[in-house]
Amino acid sequence: MRTECRRSRPNERGYALLLTLVFISVCVVLLGSVFQWASNESTLTARNHAYNAAVAAAESAVEVAIAQMNRDFRHQSLASDVNTYSTVLPGALVANGWPSDYRFSDSEGNADRSEIVCKGWQVWTNVNSEFAGLYGMVNSYQITANARRITGPYPVAAAVRQDIQLTAIPIFQFAIFYALDLEINPGPPMVVTGKTHGNADIYAAPGSTLEFIDSVGAVGEIHHHRHPDDPLVGTPTTPIYRSTRLEGISSLTLPVGTDNNPSNVVKILDAPPADEDPNSELGRQRFYNKVNLIVITSNNTVVVTYNNDEHGTSFTSVPTNSISGGTNSGYTFAKTNVSFYDYREGKQVSCTEIDVKALTDWLAGSGSSFNAQAQFQTGHPINSIYVSDRRSAPGKLAAVRVTNGRQLPDGGLTVATPQPLYVKGHFNAADVTAGTTDTSQAKPAALVSDAISILSPNWNDDWSAATSLDNRSAANNTVNAAFLSGIVPSVTVDGQRHYSGGVENFPRFLENWTDTTFTYNGSMVVMFPSRYATNFWIDPGTYYRPPTRKWAFDSNFLDVTKLPAATPQVRKLQRGQWTVLAANGN
């Protein structure tokens, strides 16, 4: 067999080479396209990352300005010239860090600054967001910042704008406001007609019907069971919420210049130390510095002074208007020989008593010059008084009491004291019809203290520790005033749990109120634990029997012109629209 080798023809070899070259060319083109696509994608991704980083940089410039403004606002030192905050930039916080990669500017291209525009300065208006329905003293701002990358291959720019409101909210717009855990567990049916706010948790486990007509909000959680330290048991009823119920909302705090711990907030009740600046954060919040009249009772004397400017910087001594004797202190409106027994505290009370009718008469008589001075300097007559009984008596409870207060002075009346406060008889009540919610004739009023106890018109100072509860029958009573005071919180001590008494027992009672009505229209605010009246609440039947509670929020407080004198204002930063803008060309 013969094998024959066949040679390839030259034209066939050329054709194969040509095909190979074509294939290689196509591959090169495709590979180049892939490389170009990958490069373009990489460039786009890098530019996109660079742009997002520029947005974040611009946002950080806005945020540092807002943070500084909010800090100053909360400390009551917000600059009226907003340009003060325009040069607050991230580089001040992160020296030699990432901010050095950016050039910051305002919307006009001015370097090293953001743009802050005041859209409304100190305007009384409605509050936005979760506190809708309230009003406050609102400062509105619009903050804009540009950031352009000045390092790296992609000098992209971005701009961000944020609208904010810095709002001071008068605290008595809430029917119930607690800085501590809020417990509300009434036995009989109860209706809360105004807004409820808790800066901590809310425990609502009523034995009967509990109805919230307006919004309820807690910084923490809203629980439908009793507090862990509450020893009382039972089958609770779920409350009825007629409006919004929110958890995890923003905290509302007083600007006292510290961490706002209740142990610091309570200092607003105290007289300032001699070396404190009255214009400091805490100094501006102290009732001592904000009221018109100050009454200080010591072991041997009573001193009354007039606050010349309601800022605590200048005081004038008020001369006596009565001969000192066995019933008063040299002032017709201040009595220092009042004593009675507190059945919850188990102590005899030694107090300074303010006779509201006598105070009203003094304002129209020998105190008229001070009243006129207040009107001229502050735009209102004398409407507030601070009282402190500094007498030391072992085994006795130093306190303050107001009496004869059915009719208040023309400007209303705020009474503040660092000690327990007792209210005897009707207060600010032109209409004493049991259960009335008509406060059209009521004047702006607030009672501020360590603890608040209600003594009915039947109260008798001669009742002693031996007087039985059945022999301490109360009479119908009406009080129309905001309450700001302390409580004894629920706590476990030596293995024994103690209930605070809840909102239903925030105002204390010491009489047998069976088949008797306590009518209350106002606002209940708890900011701290009591420091002096510290005995635990005990079940009814021991030292008191509860009244029929006819309580309502006083809608007068939703009118800024009807707020009580020296009403504290909680402060809040509220955010509005946030927008990414086209950056300027610089």
DSSP code per residue over 482-536: EEEEEE---EEETTEEE----GGGSSEE-SB-TT-EEEEEE-EEEEEE-SSS-PP
Q: What is the pLDDT of residues 269-322, one digit of tens each?
A: 999 999 999 988 889 899 999 999 999 999 989 999 999 987 888 999 999 998
Highest-pLDDT range among 96-110, 119-133, 534-548:
534-548
Out of 24-28, 330-334, 399-403, 405-409, which region has the weakest mean confidence (pLDDT)?
A: 24-28
Q: Based on the number of CB atoms within 10 Å of its own CB, is 523 exposed (0-12), middle (13-18) or buried (19 or more)?
A: buried
pLDDT top residue among 573 and 243: 243
pLDDT top residue among 10 and 542: 542
Q: What is the DSSP letter of 566?
A: T
In this prediction, residue 33 carries a pLDDT of 61
**Average pLDDT value for residue range 84-91:** 91
Strands 396-403 and 421-424, sheet pairing: parallel
List the strands of the sheet with 182-184, edge to edge: 182-184, 202-204, 222-223
Out of 37-46, 69-78, 93-102, 555-564, which region has the weakest mean confidence (pLDDT)?
A: 37-46
What is the C-alpha to C-alpha distance for residues 285 and 264, in angstroms, rounded to an integer?
11
Q: What SS3 state is found at 185?
A: coil
> For residue 121, is pLDDT > 90?
no
Q: Which residue has the tokens 């779920």?
A: 238
In 3D space, the residue among 383, 448, 371, 381 whose CA is nearest the CA of residue 412 turns out to be 383
What is the C-alpha to C-alpha distance for residues 82 and 79, in angstroms, rounded to an integer?
6
* Token pair recorded at residue 106: 């305002």
Average pLDDT of the chain? 90
DSSP code per residue over 452-492: EEEE-TT--TT--TTS-GGG-B---EEEESEEEEEE---EE
> For residue 241, is pLDDT > 80?
yes
**Average pLDDT value for residue range 215-233:** 95
pLDDT band at 507 (very low <50, low <70, confident <90, very high): very high
In 3D space, the residue among 319, 310, 311, 413 whose CA is nearest the CA of residue 357 turns out to be 413
What is the C-alpha to C-alpha distance for residues 486 and 465, in angstroms, rounded to an integer?
25
In this prediction, residue 27 carries a pLDDT of 63
In this prediction, residue 200 carries a pLDDT of 96
Q: What is the pLDDT of residues 252-269, one digit of tens each?
A: 888 777 677 888 999 999
In this prediction, residue 92 carries a pLDDT of 82
Check residue 92 and give left, alpha or beta (phi > 0: left; psi -120 to 50: alpha): alpha
> For residue 460, is pLDDT > 90?
yes
Q: How far is CA 581 from the centre of its chain?
A: 35
Q: Beta partners for 191? A: 211
What is the C-alpha to C-alpha distance for residues 436 and 550, in angstroms, rounded to an integer?
8
**Average pLDDT value for residue range 9-35:** 63
Q: What SS3 state is found at 164?
A: strand
In this prediction, residue 382 carries a pLDDT of 96
Amino acid letter for position 355: D
In this prediction, residue 1 carries a pLDDT of 44
The 3-class SS string of 245-274 reads EEECCCCCECCCCCCCCHHHHHHHHCCCCC
Q: Are 152 and 171 in contact (CB under 8 A)?
A: no
Dihedral angle computed from the Cα positions of residues 400, 403, 405 and 410, in that order, rounded to the nearest 10 degrees = -60
Q: How far is CA 185 from the centre of its chain?
A: 23
What is the C-alpha to C-alpha distance for residues 423 and 430, in angstroms, rounded to an integer?
16
What is the C-alpha to C-alpha distance for residues 335 and 294, in angstroms, rounded to an integer?
14
Q: What is the pLDDT of residues 389-437, one digit of tens each?
A: 999 888 999 999 999 999 999 999 999 999 999 999 999 999 999 999 9
Run of H or E residues at 344: none
**Average pLDDT value for residue range 94-98:** 82
